[in-house]
Homo-oligomer: A and B are copies of this chain.
Amino acid sequence: MSAGLTERRQTILKLVIQEFVETATPVASETLVRKFGLGISSATVRNELAALEELGYLTHLHTSAGRVPTDAGYRFFVENLMERTTLSLAEQRTIQHQFYQVRGELDQWIQLAGAVLARTAQNASLVTPPRAAERLRFRSLELIAIHESMALAVFVFHGGIVKQQTFTLDTARAAEELRRSAARLSDALSDLTVSGIEELATRDAGLPRPTFSEFEHGVIDSLVRAMQAFEEQAQEQIHSDGLLEMLSQPEFIPALARDDAERAVARMRRALEILKSGRGLGTLIPQALASDGVQVIIGGENSADEMREYSVVLARYGVDRAIAGVLGIIGPTRMAYPRSISTVRYISSLMSNLLAELYNAEGRAPESGAP
């Protein structure tokens, strides 16, 4: 029976997937001929479907239900059958416009990227902040009195990263004094990493006559804490959005989900947990950081069992390897892959360009009409 993946079988596979993605119901042989008017009868289609099933690209929930793609089926579709598209120019323009509106604010870019991904692909999205491959390097700091016993420190790092922290003063200090301290510290610590700063501070504290005052050492402590906190959490931090978009997919709506309402809800809860904790994504993000182009992980291909029903479309964005983050889409395996992929590709190149501008380096050119 099975004579490999003939041309016709590929066509049929493609149609099954497209139809299933659109309708979310198992697709029947009859439907295929009716809807797409292939020049053959439903019986023939059934034979082909059976062959595709034997080859592992389709399944059956039970005897008398239409066919549903397997992970392998989606994989083959993504790899060989699907036509690569790009977002329409109108969409691109809209998106660019939105990014223009929040120009200059990295945090907003991230948020916006998440929102746009979610809306465009009608699924949940995730974005990690761009992270420098190297360790955080100090640049300068400012000290600003808020009132007598309280000051605000603004720490600026290479790469335009800014952290702020308030702290209490043991005694009141004049604005001038604060400015002097800030200048001294900015000079002394400039370009150092955490470890460098820590080393310098302990060395200084050990001197018979330390260069820095007790107060200044306090500021350094605060700085070190901020840097450590940042470096620790930078790994973990995943911004996600589009929960509602994803949950409006039929998989999560009991009335539409073919199987039990129970299931739909369990799925919903699981999806929430994945998004909140990032569990199940595990190695995916580091992997995406190390790769080029758009990564597609379908169902249980990779990783954890809890991801068996979900696919992830990820891409790195950033400037070379120097500074990079990951963004992408997560949703049911029944996902409009062409659209998801082109969306992810477009947003990643857009973000890359924005970052490149920020870092004055050349990013990869977006697929068309970059801002």
Contact = CB atoms under 8 A, between A and B. Distances in A.
A160 interface: yes
Contacts of A273: 244
A261 interface: yes
Nearest to A152: B160
A336 interface: no
Interface stretch (A41-49, A161-169, A303-311, A318-326): A161-169
Contacts of A96: none
Interface residues of A, number: 44
A167 B265 CA distance: 46
B243 A272 contact: yes
A359 interface: yes
B360 A148 contact: yes
Contacts of A276: 243-244
Contact of A360 (B147, B243, B261, B358): B147
B269 A262 contact: no
Give how many copies assemble into the complex: 2
A187 to B, nearest CB: 12
B167 A104 contact: yes
A247 interface: yes
A105 B160 CA distance: 19
B262 A255 contact: yes
Which 4 residue pairs spanning A and B have beta carbons closest together? A261-B261, A104-B165, A147-B360, A104-B166
Given A104-B167, A254-B261, 4 more contacts: A154-B162, A160-B164, A162-B162, A254-B262
Interface of A: 103-106, 139-140, 142, 144, 146-150, 152, 154, 156, 160, 162, 164-168, 222, 243-244, 247, 252-255, 261-262, 264-265, 268-269, 272-273, 276, 357-360
